Amino acid sequence: MTLPRSCIAQEPDALAREWLVTNGIGGFACGTISQANTRRYHSWLTASLRPPVDRVVMLAKADVTVTLGERRYQLSCNEFTDGTIAPQGFQFLANFRVVDGIPTWRYVIEGAVLEQRLWMAEGRNTTYVSFRLLVAGTAIGLDLNPLCTYRDYHSHAQGGWSLDVRAEAGGCAVAAFSGARPYRLLLDRGEFRLQPEWYWRFKHRAEGQRGLDDSEDLLSVGTFLCALKQGETATLIATSEAGEPLAAEAALRSHSTRTESVLKTVPARAPSWIRRLTLAADQFIVNRAPAGKTVIAGYPWFSDWGRDTMIALPGLTIPTGRLEDAAEILRTFARHADQGMLPNRFPDSGEAPEYNTVDAALWFFHAVSTYLDATPNRSLLGEIYRTLKQIVDWHERGTRHGIRVDPTDGLLRAGATGVQLTWMDAKIGDWVVTPRIGKAVEINALWHFGLMKMAEWANELNDSSGAAHFGSAADRVKQAFQAAFWFEEGGYLYDVIGGPDAPGKDTALRPNQIFAVSLGTGLLDPSHERAVVEVCARELLTPVGLRSLASSDSRYARSYVGGAGQRDAVYHQGTVWSWLLGPFALAHHRVFRNAPQALSLLEGLALHLDDACLGTVSEIFDGDAPHAPRGCFAQAWSVAETLRAWHYLSEQS
């Protein structure tokens, strides 16, 4: 992917488009093409101290200056709280590329061509930033001015406090305070001049637009200086690791080898955007200390969430050939099952997991099923079958938050006042925006799917009594589902059939009903399946996902903007969710059996890969056109469900 000068030479574009690099343990680097940090999360090194959480911003960036003779050219960019944007080094950009996942800037200064690249070491909190002089009539001077901090990645830090900076061979070491993880900044050529000085009031415009505090101060620890001749390279290394970092060339070779391995699974017929999306998928699968694998729900601010992991796992691992990782992730979450529930979230600071979701455990059945369908190795089923049975048992007799099978019809109900249990989980103070208390449509579609799979797996494991029980329960759900959920007047499915705390039937036209078709268990007869797909296409479908509420609804929100309260209030009230596009395409194919047409529904997200964070898929978009990207700039289930749908549909073409 290459963005030409016409897309990056102006301030709005240069400050809007972003890049992301990750290290496989929850750490990352990200920023804008302009190299101005517009978010609190932007940095060249955000280290994960207890993988994949406890993430700390260390090196925010480095300002870069090139000297040609007596003339100095500043290639960086900063925005300050007084409105100043200086320097504006993006004006020297000839192009910006992402090459095998590595962001690459190419600057032209008086005919000299300087290339900057940034990557991270896999499994290490170490970032490499290389500067290679490609073309020049004479040597140039290169000055790097690192801007440092030490803070939780969700926060901002103001200056005036003491960071202990000490010069050492090749650079410096930074110790923020007693007990802080020290980190080092090293350059593989030239010299370092120690001169700590605070720089004040950097503005993060994206934070201000989200109604949050938007300024911080950074410590300039000194300056790296070197000279480069044509063909020469200097590499800045930022690391919080105790030992000697891998040399830049070796780290780059390791990165290239990994990239080649990831891309080997991409079919030859796949378009280039699927190759890019496959690399994006790799960024979300990370190690969880002390052992195991997990899935980061989204960058830059999410950690690993149970629901997101179970939804994303099939698309992140099965099409990409990562079956062992899939099994390890499933084992990790199975170990954390409690009272028939999977944790919704592992907190950033390592506290006990939170059990406040009804659907994470139900999506677990779907993730297990996709794994088992992809491998002849059935050992995992034997390992976790007892856990799967316990999940069903707890749901039948009742677990937390009112989650329990209704004995009158076999459908699953859930919810209690003040708790949000489904994926539509926005909450403002004590106000649950979409409580969905009762029998939610997608929850019961997933419940039916789980029961059917349990009957199948029980037979495989010679559990005849279990097979009979699960099969009977699944039949009962199917008999009740269509009669209970079909909204005849609207020609679609009710979103929720209320419980004691919220009686009635919710006629809101929402996308949750699509899972009654996409899961493929035959919950609805063909005419009703077609009606669901057609109404969702007519009222909810956009080029980048499905609206969370029909635009004809009085509660529909056209855009997702403003402060935290304003945004949370509309999070599921019309905002477009990109992860739903994959299930919709699969449901469309199930009804119409036209794989090329279903594949074409994904093309809007293909074009989006050059729009926000390059090469990946945003979490959400405005409900109204042009559907501006919002939320997390890289979302696991958005990438995963697009990949999963593309691979399945391309096989059917």
Give the C-alpha separation, 422 to 438, whole Å. Answer: 11
Residue with tokens 């690399």: 279
pLDDT the model gives residue 499: 67
pLDDT the model gives residue 367: 98
Residue with tokens 């990750």: 22
- Locate 459 and state its tokens: 């037979």
- Amino acid at site 636: A
Q: 3-state class of 243 per DSSP?
A: coil
pLDDT the model gives residue 338: 96
Give the C-alpha separation, 39 to 202, whole Å. Answer: 10
pLDDT the model gives residue 438: 96
pLDDT the model gives residue 350: 59
- Locate 131 and state its tokens: 């500067």
pLDDT the model gives residue 10: 85
Give the C-alpha separation, 335 to 355, whole Å. Answer: 14
pLDDT the model gives residue 191: 97
Residues in the chain where the model's pLDDT stays below 70: 346-350, 499-502
**Could you tell me if 21 and 120 are in contact, meaning their C-beta atoms sit under 8 angstroms apart?**
yes
* Sheet of 438-440, strand order: 438-440, 496-498, 505-506
Domains with residue ranges and CATH for the chain: 2-258 (2.70.98), 527-653 (no CATH)
Instruction: Report the b/e string of 494-517 with b at 16+ CB within 10 A.
Output: bbbbbbeeeeeebebbbbbbbbbb
One DSSP character per residue, 341-368 reads: B--SB--TT--PPB---SSHHHHHHHHH
**Phi, psi for 155 (deg, rounded to 5):** -115, 175
* Helix orientation angle between 306-317 and 636-652, rounded to the nearest 10 degrees: 40
One DSSP character per residue, 637-648 reads: HHHHHHHHHHHH
pLDDT the model gives residue 349: 60
Tell me the Cα Rg of the chain: 26
pLDDT the model gives residue 9: 82
